[in-house]
Amino acid sequence: MEDRRNAWKAFSRVGIGYGAFLLVTLVIQLEIGAIALALSRFGIEITFGNWYMVIVSLANYVVGGIVAYIIVRDMPVLCRPEAKKAGAGMLVSGFLICMSALFFGNLIGQALMTIVSALLGKPMINPVEEVMKGLNTWAIFVTMVIMAPVCEEILFRKVLIDRIRLYGDKAAILVSSVVFALSHGNFYQFFYAFGIGLVFAYIYIKTGRLRYTIIFHMVINFLGSIVALQIGENPLLTAGYSIFMLGAVIAGTILFFISQKKLVLYPGLMENWGRGFFKTLFLNLGMILFFLVSAVTFVISEIS
């Protein structure tokens, strides 16, 4: 009972820390919007374009990340993943499974928002696509291919998993993936971010090296942003890209089912997986607050 109470407190702190991260990012965006509106009344117009996106993204990750870290930093780091070299099989399989998760997660997100659009009688806008439309290639590369993978892997894998792995690999993988997915702030990205988050968390736990997940994250974002935008007007490149993605998805799906029998997940020093685990992990004050802030970000992403 004492172990479960300690776990409840730990995951509540996680919720508070990452809820604060989301709250800080919202405040930053609202404050910058308010400043831009005030300046416009004096004839000074702020262009919401390339530099704006780079600066705001950096501020979100740095300020929000520091706030989250300050809140969770005192949590004991007793089961940090042991650093070891990943085998080629794990890396290839992991990447292909990520491609599969990206495809099916995106399919689910698109289908859900199509249903929502039909029910509400108005089109739903994919915030990521809208953002990329107004950015140059260099701005997309800096924010989505460099900045996001590095900052997010540090925040959602290194900082978080190191502090909750003592409650078991299952809890660490599940909670880090849910927090990672919800922090994207929209349903278009939620499902594939959750699936990819599961793979990234497993790879980090098994290797203890963040470089692998950072590289994977960079490649996936590069394919989904820079490459996807550049091939749009070239039928030959589009066909090649489609064939590559289809092959990767098929191979990843097959490997996903094969790998289920090979997964090795260790219990932590204070594992609480079993009856009542969901309540311990997610139905605590901090995580409930995190879910509420996440809901606000989801709503804002659709109405802004």
Give me the tens of pLDDT residue by residue for the chain, a chain 304 residues long. Answer: 567 788 899 999 999 999 999 999 999 988 887 777 777 777 776 666 788 889 889 999 999 999 999 999 999 998 899 999 999 999 999 999 999 999 999 999 999 999 988 888 888 788 888 778 778 899 999 999 999 999 999 999 999 999 999 999 999 999 999 999 999 999 999 999 999 999 999 999 999 999 999 999 999 999 988 888 888 777 888 888 889 999 999 999 999 999 988 888 998 888 767 777 889 999 999 999 999 999 999 988 877 6
Q: Could you tell me which of 214, 264, 249, 262 has the C-alpha nearest to residue 98?
A: 249
What are the phi and psi torsion angles at 237 (to 5°)? -65, -35
Q: Could you tell me which of 136, 119, 112, 144 has the C-alpha nearest to residue 224?
A: 144
Integer Cα distance of 149 and 220 in angstroms: 10
pTM for this model (two decimals): 0.93
**CA distance to 157, 208, 256, per residue, from 243 (Å):** 31, 33, 20
* Both tokens assigned to 93: 């399989």
